[in-house]
Amino acid sequence: MPSRIFVDADACPVKDEVYKVARRYGLQVYVVAGAFLMVPKDPLIERVIVEAGPDAADDWIAGEVRRGDIVVTHDIPLAQRCLQAGALVIGPNGRPFTEDSIGQALAGRAIGEHLRSVGEVTRGPPPFQAKDRSRFLSALDEAVHRSRRIAG
């Protein structure tokens, strides 16, 4: 069964890149969000609008994803859930989440949450740059090839 791409679309800066790669390889894309988003009219691209709620999009993606699928998200807990299902997960900055890296990512997230809870001002992620977009395209292309080996 061919791999699919799931995009955690709220605040995702690389949707156009996903569409480009999906068209090149003929892969189905699910653009999942908590509100209406414009998506191209294309039989390969499906918009999924989930009910309002803090983790509704994450829950939908985690419930649908299977081994060999590709997930694009910056959400670390969602990345962990998708990795557990056997999916390949890439952040919009092009950095893959892996079994080896997810523990460190979760720990860093927990530390940041703790610091914010005690009033510390933490800095957010660095601004998205052209090199992130380029790294993402390469990482997504590589993930498509890896997913074909897994699924095939």
pTM value is: 0.84
Alpha carbon distance 110, 95 (integer Å): 19
User: Strand runs (DSSP E) across the chain, as ranges?
Assistant: 4-8, 28-33, 45-49, 70-72, 88-90, 96-97
| Cβ-contact 68, 149 below 8 angstroms | no
| Cβ-contact 113, 34 below 8 angstroms | no
Q: pLDDT digit string (tens) for 56-112?
A: 999 999 999 999 999 999 888 999 999 999 999 999 999 898 877 665 655 555 555
Question: What's at 17, amino acid-wise?
Answer: E
Alpha carbon distance 76, 44 (integer Å): 26
Looking at residue 107, its pLDDT comes to 53
How large is the average pLDDT for residues 12-30? 96
| Cβ-contact 39, 23 below 8 angstroms | no
pLDDT band at 151 (very low <50, low <70, confident <90, very high): low
Name the region of 125 (left: φ>0; alpha: ψ -120 to 50; beta: rest): beta
pLDDT band at 11 (very low <50, low <70, confident <90, very high): confident
Q: pLDDT digit string (tens) for 129-149?
A: 889 999 999 999 999 999 988
| Cβ-contact 79, 102 below 8 angstroms | yes
